[in-house]
Amino acid sequence: MKLNTRLKLLDTYNFVSLTDIVMLLVIFFLLSSTFIVQPGIKVRLPQADISEEIIGKSITVTIAKGDQYYLNDELIPFTDLGARLNSLVKTQPTDIVIIKADKTIELGRVVAVMDICKKVGFTKFNVATEPING
């Protein structure tokens, strides 16, 4: 049995498969790309030559310009800082507090935060800095 095969030109082109491939590529690049965005509060940290990385659970207290205090990225009044730290200690047991203070903040405000943390029961503190050459 002989089959007749003829070569004929395509009159139309099906773009459905092409659009599927393009959409899959767009989704792939959106999901695989990393966005380096520092979430949270805008704070210019002081610079230091030597720094250490904190591994494990910690509580972050941020002191921003304009007398704003943040506890783990949540804006709170200074008068509520002790009570909120006390409730956090019960729900998130940790022994270290990271203090992120803007470099224009007075040292007295940082010491006041450290005093509140000591009253709650924290004994280890770390002041966040950024490297000099980065």
Residue 59 β-bridge partners? 97
Task: Note whether 84 and 61 are within 8 A (CB).
Answer: no
Average pLDDT over residues 32-51: 67
> With pLDDT > 70 as the criterion, what percentage of the chain qualifies?
90
Which of 5, 31, 105 has the alpha carbon at shortest distance from 65?
A: 105
Instruction: Count Cα atoms within 13 angstroms, Cβ side, for 112.
Output: 13
Q: What is the mean pLDDT of residues 28-49?
A: 70
- pLDDT score of 39: 57
pLDDT of 22 strictly over 60: yes
- Determine which helix (DSSP H) or strand (DSSP E) holds 71, and give its type and residue range: strand 68-71
User: Is it the case that residue 42 has pLDDT exceeding 60?
Assistant: yes
Predicted local confidence at residue 134, as pLDDT:
55
Share of the chain above pLDDT 90, in %: 5
H-helix or E-strand spanning residue 32: helix 16-32
| Residue corresponding to tokens 């800095």 | 129
pLDDT band at 1 (very low <50, low <70, confident <90, very high): low
pLDDT, tens only, 59-115: 888 898 888 898 888 889 989 888 888 888 777 777 788 888 888 888 888 899 899
R_g of the chain computed on alpha carbons: 28
| Domain 47-131 indexed as CATH 3.90.650.10 | no
| pLDDT score for 35 | 59
Angle between helix 107-120 and helix 81-91 axes, rounded to 10 deg: 50
Domain boundary assignment for the chain: 47-131
Residue 24 pLDDT: 92
* 118 backbone dihedrals φ, ψ, rounded to 5°: -65, -40
* Residue 50's pLDDT band (cuts 50, 70, 90): confident
